[in-house]
Every structure is written in C-alpha cells, then in structure tokens.
Structure 1
Amino acid sequence: MVEMPGRKKKNGQEKRIRFSDDLLWGVHPVFEALQEKKGYFSEIIIQKDRQGARIEEIIAMARSRQIKLTFVSSIRLTGDGASRVRHQGIIARTSETELLSLEEFLQKHPSKREDGTNTRLMICDSLQDPHNLGAIIRSALASGAGGVIITRERSVSPGGTVAKSSAGALSHIDICQVTNLVSALKVLKKAGYWVFGAVKDDDASSLYDTDLAVPACFIVGSEGRGIRSLVRKECDMLLSIPMEGRLDSLNSSVAAAVILFEAMRQNVSAHG
C-alpha cells in the first residue's frame, strides 16, 4: 500500500473502539455531517488503506477545522450494538457542544470579568471517565466557573454520555479543548490566571488555608494517575483536601466539586 501524502503514521495496531452514542461512522455520513456542520467533532479515525477523493475531502475539512485525525491499520468496534455497524474504515467521535480553541476561550473568559470579579476555570488533565467529566461540568456551572478545559489526547470527548451525566449543564458552559496542556497553562498564566493543582501529597497546601479569591484555574487529574508530572510543574500551587478516616483520596469529580465550591465561597466573601 502506498502511504497517502500528508498522512502521519500512528502505530500499526488495530484500533478498538467501544460502541457508544457519540460515534458516527461511514464515509458519506461523516462527509455530509462535516460539510453541513451538523454536530461537533472531537476526533476522526480512518483506516490507512482507505483512499479516494471523498476520504481526502474529509481529511482536508477536518484539518481546516482543527479536528484530531487518527490513522490506524484497522478498526474494531466492541460492545453492544457493534455487530450492526458497517463503518467502512472511518469513525468519528462527536461532541454535544462546540469545542473552543484556547484563543476563543480566553476572549470570552478573561481573568477578570467586566464587573471586577475573578474568573474561575476548571481543567481536566486526561480525564477518561465520561461520568466523571459530566459531573465536573455540572459542578463547574453550579459554582459559577467560566468554563472547562479538557485535553485532546487521552481524554474522553464530551459526547452523549458526558451530556447525560452533566444533567444538561454541558449546553450552558463553554468547553475548551487543548492539544498541549503545558503550553496552554503558560498562556493562561500570562493572561493573569493562577494555576492550582489538586493532589493528595502531605506537603501540599490545605484547600481551606489557601487564598482562592484570585483569577484561578483548578486542575484535577485522571482517575488513578492524577495530574501528569509536566503539568504539575506548571502549577503555581498544589492543593490537598483535608480528610478524616482511612481514605487518602477522592474521586476526581468529587474533588473538583469540593474545590470549586470552596473557591466560590471565598470569592463571594471577598466581593461581599
């Protein structure tokens, strides 16, 4: 097989995808949805042996809209409903909401709002559980956060399951997707934000002893691994949530909620 020009090789392994309600498949359905801009896309996965004018048009449209493209040797759908799918070597992950670039996001959410109050943002570092992401989005909206930033790689897309888990909040809050979170944090700090990372370290600052009445970005990490080391180095301060009993950590969505509402409490008190 001749490699199509401009395509970057990933690995030669089979791509396994669990069937879910945020998938769109088939050459013509994906092409039509892209052309008519029906819905939003977080990733398009294409088998490297699929060629033709329509495939190249899909690739061109995806690149012009900065949609992640993944080229694989083969695609295998798993789970309930997968046997009925004829994907024709192309599957798109759809999103229930528009995914803003960091530039667009910051234009809408400067560190200080017009009324002089501080903007608060929630950042999810490589979160892969759609139920956790949905719950975090719901807490972010309820606590007055301006928006949520997610990573493009190793992160669940805000599709149907996330939308359901957010109980409608996904439609009312801005979501930004970034390719390189470390670079994005540098930009956010230059824009006037303080970056706080949630960790379970004994030497981290207690949430309740930390001044959060500032323009703030709060980061929670993936389930199990937490915040990645390079992301952690970009944090201005590391936060821990004091707990009693034998548990040493909280679910990421619970930790995010505790932090977001403490930050809301402090900001309300500060602005009286």
Structure 2
Amino acid sequence: MSKHKPSSKKGPKVGSGGVRRRRLEGRGPTPKATDREYHPAYAKKKAKEAEEKRNEAIKIARAGGKLPAYLKLEPGHELIAGRNPVLEAVRAEIPLTRVFMVSGNVTDERVEEAARLAAAQGAPVLEVSRGHLDVMTENAAHQGIAIEVPPYDYESLDNVIESIAELETPGLILALDSVTDPHNLGAVLRSASAFNANAVLITERRSAGVTGTVWKVSAGAAARVPIARETNLVRSLQELKSNGYFVVGLAGEGDVMLDNLELADMPLVLVTGSEGKGLSRLVRDTCDQICSIPISGDMESLNAAVATGIALYEVDRVRRKGSR
C-alpha cells in the first residue's frame, strides 16, 4: 500500500478565504491621500499648514504682536477708525466706551478735539502702539485713532410712530427692502439726516445692521436719525398705513415720476429695494404707488443709496416750498 505524498504546490490553505474576509471587516473606505500619514501628500499638507502658521505669526509680530487682554473689544462692540469718522461720531455724541490713540498722535487738531470731546463724555482715552491698532482695525486706515462703540440700540416702530405724531410736520420714514450693503445703509442715513427724514426702517434678516462701517459712512447720522428694526417689512408697512402713512416704492418702472409725486407733502414712507433685485413682490403689492426717477437712457438703474437720496431731496424740496 503506497503512501500519499503531500503536495509541494503552493496555494491557499483550506478555509483561508474566511480569514481574509474577517481581516477586511470594519476597515471602511480608503482614507484620502492627505489623511494617510505614510503618504507624501500628507507630508505636503502638514508642511503647508506649518508655513501658514509661521506666516500668520510673522504678520502678527510685524503688526505689533498679539493683543493684550485689556485691548480686546467686548462682544458685539465695533470700532470706528480714522480722524474724520471718529471726530464726526464724537461730535454727534454717539455712545462710546473707549478711545484708542497711537502715542504721539495728539499733534493733529482733529485727533486732539476727538479725544477731548470723548473724555468730556466720560470715555477713557488709551494710548496704544501703531502695531496694536493695526491689529485691532484689521489694518484699516485708522490714522492713529479709533473709538469703541457698543451695539446699536434700535428703536421699535411703535415708538417711532408715537414720536413723529408729536411733531407739527407730516412724518417721513425711509424703509429698506433687503438692502444688505452697510455702505448703502450708511449713505441712506446720511441723506436722511440731510433732508429731514424722521426715521429709517430695516428688517432683522436679509438687511444690513448698524456696524462700524455704517457709523463711518453715515458721518454721525446714525446717532441723529432713529433706526427701527422689525421682523417683517410688509407687516410694518401695513401698520404705518393704518396710522395714516402713504407708502411709495422706488423703482425704475414706476407709474408716476418723482417730480409728479402728489403724496410728497403727506405722511410718507419711501421704500427702496435691494441692490440687485429691487422691491420684492409682496412689498411692491403693499405700496400705494410706485415712483420712478427720470434718468438718462444710457444708465440702466441707480444705486439704492443714490436713488433714496434723490427721492428724499425732492420730497424735502416740495415740503419746504409748501411751507412758505
């Protein structure tokens, strides 16, 4: 009886397939190359992160180093920077908490006046390095001075209506429909102050709020013109209409030209639409009239702030003429 010799042929042993399947269980999808420590792409990613960290450290060091704790702003606070914006804001007696001045900058008359007026209002004046002020203003053109202002205190629409009702002249309110550019809001406030508007109405969502940029562009008008902020613009316009106001929307395809607006001397709300889409459908439907500004055929439309300023000027002109 011959003996069976074991095969010298190499190959998988019986049952090895199950072992291999168990080894592969739970491994999941293959990680990205940048997440595998042994892969060259991972080393490149880590090197890039380290370089970015070094560059940021160099940037901070050149700008004056990390900010000391006492120079950090309170949550929600904003900075207004630059000689003219700061002086205009302080002259308007806006609420402010601190003044930051670069050492040796008091030789400028505007800086000196701003610091003196702010100190008279009880705001502490702190001397800082130029590098620190660069960091605080994110390298804006601060010209050696900045002031810290608390979050803006918005009015309610009811309070605005009550305040205007006590005046002898018909009310004039500006309403902004989804105007999101803070530069436009600041310019609108400036025009509102120049042409005797009583208040500006904005919404809580899809609308620019009062920031340091708005304070700067408004040239102090944000302290002189009340700003009401409500949840729903259509509902607010309906409330104004129930209080005797006429609502006029500004749009290029209006049914009446601005110089023929017969509602100018009535209690009035002028509504300006967003920078791109203009008046929304619901707001347009709420308006009593849609008014357009005659412009050259070469120009398709006007900037929201510019259109608002022109309309305000015309309404103010008509009212002044009627009061003579």
Scaled by the length of structure 2, the TM-score of the pair is: 0.54
* Equivalent of 2:245 in 183, 193, 197: 193
Q: Tell me whether 1:103 sits opposite 2:103 in the alignment.
A: no
Structure possessing the higher relative contact order (Cα contacts under 8 Å, 6 or more residues apart) = 1
> Which residue matches 1:160?
212
Q: Which structure shows the higher helix fraction?
A: 2
Q: Tell me whether 1:210 sits opposite 2:264 in the alignment.
A: no
Query: Aligned equivalents of 1:123 and 1:153: distance in 2?
Result: 14
Q: Tell me whether 1:114 sits opposite 2:167 in the alignment.
A: yes
Q: Contact 1:97–1:171 (CA<8 Å) still a contact in 2?
A: no
Deviation by residue 1:158-215 (Cα, 9 ceiling, x = unmatched): 11101101011111110000100110011000111110000111x5210011111111
1:109 is paired with a residue of what secondary structure? helix
Q: Contact 1:213–1:263 (CA<8 Å) still a contact in 2?
A: yes
Q: Tell me whether 1:268 sits opposite 2:317 in the alignment.
A: no
CA drift of 1:108 comes to 1.4
Larger radius of gyration: 2
Distance 1:200 1:95, change over 3 A: farther
Q: RMSD across aligned C-alpha pairs, in angstroms?
A: 2.5
CA drift of 1:114 comes to 3.2
* Equivalent of 1:144 in 193, 196, 205: 196
Distance 1:96 1:145, change over 3 A: farther
The amino acid of 1:137's aligned partner reads: L
CA drift of 1:232 comes to 0.7
Q: Which structure shows the higher strand fraction?
A: 1
What are the ranges of 5 or more consecutive residues in structure 1 without an aligned counterpart?
A: 1-28, 32-37, 40-79, 84-93
Deviation by residue 1:112-134 (Cα, 9 ceiling, x = unmatched): x532x211111111111111110
> Which residue matches 2:288?
236
> Which residue matches 2:275?
223
Scaled by the length of structure 1, the TM-score of the pair is: 0.63
> Which residue matches 1:246?
298
Q: Tell me whether 1:169 sits opposite 2:221 in the alignment.
A: yes
Q: Tell me whether 1:179 sits opposite 2:234 in the alignment.
A: no
Distance 1:227 1:98, change over 3 A: same
What are the ranges of 5 or more consecutive residues in structure 2 without an aligned counterpart?
A: 1-73, 77-94, 97-134, 139-148
What is the aligned length? 186
> Which residue matches 2:46?
none
Query: Aligned equivalents of 2:234 and 2:284: distance in 1?
Result: 9
